[in-house]
Amino acid sequence: MSGVSQPDLTDNIGIGNFRPAQAVTTGLTLERYAPGAALRPYVQCYWQARWRGGGEPAGMELLHPDGATGLLFNFGGALERNGERVHGDCWIDGPKRRTARLAVGDTLDLLGVRFLPGMAFGFVGEALSALTGGKLTPGDALRRLKLEALHERLWQAPDLAGRLALLEAYLLARLRHVERAPQSLVSSLDWLRRQHGQGSIAALVDEMPFGQRRLERLFQHHVGLSPKRYARLLRVAHSRELIKQSGAATSLTDTAFAAGYFDQSHFIHDFKAVTGFTPGSYLDHVQRRYGASI
């Protein structure tokens, strides 16, 4: 496509919370690719999940929430997410409050765009609070995005590089009309990320030139979540990483403390509310999935 640089296809290190492609032995491949420089302030990655044959179906993948929004295109069989069949070919995957469970079988063939938290609003043109929840929003619900037409063009592309070039061109065309997110929002998101969600919202407001009510409105509009709920997602995500890194070598009490929880019951409540697992059952899941040495 003239005027559009080819996306970087070298960063094949897995999609978000999926396993890296090189670790998959069941025939499921999970890869992500970096966007071009102009889109990097907005887009985390392009990603592809496919079944390439061989082995037994992987069963289920956990899609943990990070406050981000995405676009999703299906080229395989019907999807099953959270135990329900999902109809259609393309969707807006709004910010999730809880971990989603994607059934994985031998017809899986997905391509997606993952925006950075707070950066999707200008592309979708809709307050993110309207897209928040556990369900996918059908592509035709926001007709101005023309996702169905884009899906058809992606379907006809000869290979993955061609599909990624189409996605890049589509987003670059929309970027011409995108206003940068307010700097106060960018600063707030960065502050919460650096704190792993542990800093209080009151402390964040003290850093801002305005009050909590305006901060709440900014987050609902651009992120689709309140600052407090986004902070909880970050804190639970940090807890998950600590569990994966240390496994049974570190007590869950110490993990809770490291994640900023001073009350074990609060830690368990937050962790289960987001992931559906208790910390202990998530540790069991990690050890079954990656081996007891994790």
Write out the two tokens for 45.
């990655």
Question: Which of 7-16, 24-33, 127-136, 261-270 shows the lowest mean pLDDT across its residues?
Answer: 7-16
pLDDT of the residue at 292: 54
pLDDT digits (tens, 9 = 90+) for 13-66: 333 333 333 334 456 788 999 999 999 999 999 999 988 665 555 578 899 999
| CA–CA distance, 219 with 132 (Å, rounded to integer) | 12
Residue in this structure with the two tokens 């063939």, named with its chain if needed:
109
Fold that domain 21-175 belongs to in CATH: Jelly Rolls (2.60.120)
Query: What is the domain partition of the chain in residue ranges?
Result: 21-175, 183-290
Share of the chain above pLDDT 90, in %: 73
Q: How many CB atoms lie within 10 A of CB 221?
A: 18
| CA–CA distance, 184 with 182 (Å, rounded to integer) | 5
Domain 183-290, CATH among 3.40.50.300, 1.10.40.50, 1.10.10.60, 1.10.760.10: 1.10.10.60
pLDDT digits (tens, 9 = 90+) for 202-241: 999 998 888 999 999 999 999 999 999 999 999 999 999 9
Query: Do strands 84-86 and 59-63 pair parallel, antiparallel, or not at all (unpaired)?
Result: unpaired
Write out the two tokens for 112.
């997606």
pLDDT of the residue at 101: 93
